[in-house]
Chains A and B, each alone.
Chain A
Amino acid sequence: MTSIEEVIGQSQHRGSLSRAMNFQAFWVLVAAILACLALTFLTDAFASERNLFNVSRNFAFVAIIAIGMTVVIASGGIDLSVGSTVVLTAMVISVLMSGGSGFWISALAALAAALLVGLLNGILIAYVGMPPFVVTLGMLSAARSLAMVLSNNKMIWEFGPDHDLLLWIGGGSTLGLPHPLYALLTLAIIAGLILRWTRWGQHVFAIGGNEQAATLTGIPVKRLKVSVYMFSAFTAGVTGILMAGWLGSVTTNLGQSMELAVIAAAVIGGANLAGGEGTVLGAVVGALLIEVIRNSLILLGISAFWQGMFIGSFIIIAVAFDRIRKLRSSD
């Protein structure tokens, strides 16, 4: 005997394959895997250990920030200042370490600087009521300028007593995998759990879906927005520290126009620039596709000048797909 409730319940559980196929991240993953296979056959260099190591590390940098960006976009905002936050944190940690401070205290100070950038973004957006685009665009300029002031626009490659530790953390590997991948894995799991299972996560999607409704139900919208920008700045800060260790030297053009690759990764992975949608898995898979394509341009001997064209087109195409999907579902 089946009651009506059971029938209703069953109709909600379609096959998990068909559910996955409705999920943008699934198709992006398929595209990334196909691109990898194609590159393996077309070039000798792609599948080389050295190249894969580089690809996976670069991918991790973009993916870590794309997770933060996805949360911002899901809340209905945007953060253009992440690339500048990367260079600011990298500069704070390298200036402190080259001045003789230890790694951990310098890393904490660098993360604090990143969180301060996020806090300022959040306050201007949530409490002063300025558009996220404008605030974070201003911050993009201000934070990079601050990094130049801090370093006097000089390259830093001497990191004091903990020099080797920094290089190992950002550039080393364990069990054959580069350390940034471990950072990405940890962050992805934690962020995924938080977004899905906590009230904070639920409320991020609520304000992205309908901010007015969220306010009416008593959700602390302003505080929540501040925390969202602090989270994205935190992911940029972690990346800045890892990149400093990977490169072994920090210059003031680190992370330049990285925000575009990050936004492209988030949007390709299904984050909706209108707010209310986005997943951690999508951000990671989107970053993977971008990095594989970027690598393929290099390996196939296409001029690096085309990279910007690809990233820009990706953002526009992903948004266009989203529009088409909306139009079809509203009929």
Chain B
Amino acid sequence: MSRLKLSGVSKSFGAIRALENVSIEVAPGEVMGLMGDNGAGKSTLVKIVAGNFRPTQGDIFIDGRKVEYHRPIDARREGVEVVYQDLALCDNLTAASNVFLGREPTLGRAPFRIIDYPQMRRRSAELFAQLKSETRPRDLVRRMSGGQRQAVAIARTLLSDAKIVLMDEPTAAISVRQVAEVLDLIRRLRDRGLSVILISHRMPDVFAVCDRIAVLRRGSLVASKPVSQSSPEEVTGLITGAIETA
């Protein structure tokens, strides 16, 4: 059974058809690369799965069960986590505080509840260890490398026992060495049985880490196939329209 299934999903913004009858499936522990030109509808698709937009038409299924969200928090309850393009971290807080932001564990009774910092540090150290990242719980995010920031953003998703992690261009603005770190992080998520949807413009990244590749062109899905049966040349053709479908 598929972990995530979109069936006939369309989304219009007024006259703009951002997504057109998209049906796609992602298996548990599968990494799907989502590619397409600017404006092809990739971010829109991710936002629909994340509960930011409601589809104009079509249904979403998680583990075979139809889900309906009204707000992003509903999607999170269904086990969908998003790693945002700009990472959505607070630079002025520590790694541990960012991992637990909005979900800080507390000790004591209301109204005298205090934050359980030791537990936050212990748990985030465990998560960073799982991700094999050198990130330290007490360090300020401001002083971190791009790769460490990614680890913090991704540790957030592990904290909540997510089933599906959506990543919109996580490697867009970081150095080559850091890209390798992020790809490693994605493999760790996959090894833990999570499904990942990775939006990226970087062909080598997608071919390095993804099991399946899906291509959107002007809102329509033109391909969804195992990476092993495709090639960078074919994908480029699909993105530009030189190849109609595959």
* Beta-carbon nearest neighbor of B87 in chain A: A213
Bitwise interface map of A from 190 to 221 toward B, beta carbon under 8 Å scored 1, else 0? 00000001110011011011101110111100
Q: How far is the CB of A245 from chain B (nearest CB, A)?
A: 29
| Most interface-central of B90, B97, B114, B139 (chain A CB within 10 A) | B90
Separation of A206 and B99 alpha carbons in the complex (Å) = 12
| Complex contact B97–A216 (CB within 8 A) | no
Some 12 contacts from A to B, beta carbons below 8 A apart, are A5-B125, A198-B113, A198-B114, A202-B93, A205-B93, A206-B93, A206-B102, A208-B92, A209-B91, A210-B91, A216-B84, A277-B92
* Beta-carbon nearest neighbor of B117 in chain A: A197
Given the known interface contacts A197-B115, A199-B113, A205-B93, the answer about A218 and B88 at a Cβ–Cβ threshold of 8 Å is no
| Complex contact A8–B136 (CB within 8 A) | yes
Query: Which residues of chain A are near B102, meaning CB under 8 Å?
Result: 203, 206, 214, 217-219
Q: Does B72 contact A (CB under 8 A)?
A: yes
Query: Which residues of chain B are near A205, meaning CB under 8 Å?
Result: 90, 92-93
Q: Which residues of A contact B (CB under 8 A)?
A: 5, 8, 12, 197-199, 202-203, 205-206, 208-210, 212-214, 216-219, 276-277, 329
| Complex contact B115–A199 (CB within 8 A) | yes
| Complex contact B93–A209 (CB within 8 A) | yes
| Complex contact B90–A213 (CB within 8 A) | yes
Bitwise interface map of B from 106 to 138 toward A, beta carbon under 8 Å scored 1, else 0? 100000011100000000010000000000101
Known: A206-B97, A206-B101. 17 other contacts (CB 8 A): A8-B136, A12-B139, A198-B113, A198-B114, A199-B106, A202-B101, A203-B102, A208-B92, A209-B93, A210-B91, A213-B90, A214-B101, A216-B72, A217-B101, A217-B102, A277-B92, A329-B142
Q: Which residues of B contact A (CB under 8 A)?
A: 72-73, 76, 82, 84, 88-93, 97, 101-104, 106, 113-115, 125, 136, 138-139, 142
Interface of B is mostly: loop
Separation of A326 and B174 alpha carbons in the complex (Å) = 21
| Complex contact B84–A202 (CB within 8 A) | no
Q: Select which of B82, B113, B138, B142 is within 8 A of A12 by beta carbon.
A: B138
Query: Which residues of chain A are near B82, meaning CB under 8 Å?
Result: 216
Query: Which residues of chain A are near B139, meaning CB under 8 Å?
Result: 12
8 shortest A-B CB distances, which residue pairs? A217-B102, A209-B90, A276-B92, A213-B88, A209-B92, A197-B114, A217-B101, A210-B90
Query: Which residues of chain A are near B97, meaning CB under 8 Å?
Result: 202, 206
Separation of A210 and B91 alpha carbons in the complex (Å) = 7
Query: Which residues of chain B are near A216, meaning CB under 8 Å?
Result: 72, 82, 84, 88
Q: Select which of A12, A202, A217 is within 8 A of B136 by beta carbon.
A: A12
Q: How far is the CB of A34 from chain B (nearest CB, A)?
A: 30
